Homo-oligomer: A and B are copies of this chain.
Amino acid sequence: MIFYSNWRSLAAYRVRVALAMKQIPHEVVTIDMLGGEHQGAAFTAVNPQGVIPALRTSDGQVLVQSLAILEYLEEIRPTPALLPPDPAGRARVRGLALIHAADSHPLLVPRVRAHLQKDAGLDDAAVQRWVDRALHSGLDAIEKLLAHSPETGQFCHGDQPTMADITLTSHLLAMGFFRCDASAYPTANRIAQNCERLEAFSNSHPLKQPGAPAQ
């Protein structure tokens, strides 16, 4: 398997954690996002959308979109499970994951921020307000869903980490990168601390990857 990655991509982070949790052997190919390599001919031949991550399976098929890749890894390597066994529980985990991955995070990826600045003419303060709003509105919903459910345990769903924990830590990493105050979300923070104690999460931190800056 070949994992096309970059230290700064949070979508790549999600795949990295899942590969680590499931201990799936793979080769990492780092795509130079700052240098625009993801939009060059070589990489768009791999992923026509020109975004990170992508995963080339051992059969040679290229998979795109982080959550689709997580589902694939779950299906080919079910243990440890990233989803609970019951349909309603699985829907709860996927719903939590999608609040981050399909509502908040799409608003703050580099290509969207570049568009806000270059085409829409927003200044740095306006972009920061935009990012703050995207992250706080998503985490506000996630916190309520976590805090009010008896299904929340040491992790988002019970006492084992799931896809929802991968996306929750992705969300909190984004809040750190953009210096958003995340202190008002006690359940989310408690769970994220439990995740950080696991090597699959802590070793997958963006700043521990090749090419990352010191801080």
Q: Which residues of B contact A17 (CB under 8 A)?
A: none
Q: Output the residue of A50, A76, A88, A133 with the most chain B CB within 10 A.
A: A88
Q: In the complex, which residue of chain B has the Cβ closest to the Cβ of A101?
A: B102
Q: Which residues of B contact A141 (CB under 8 A)?
A: 48-50
Q: Output the residue of A49, A57, A90, A112 with the most chain B CB within 10 A.
A: A49
Q: Which residues of A contact B (CB under 8 A)?
A: 48-51, 57, 59, 61, 63-65, 67-69, 71-72, 75-76, 87-88, 90-92, 94-95, 97-99, 101-103, 105-107, 112, 115-116, 119-120, 122, 126, 129-130, 133, 137, 140-141, 144-145, 148
CB distance from A97 to the nearest CB of B (A): 8
Q: Which residues of B contact A72 (CB under 8 A)?
A: 87-88, 90-91
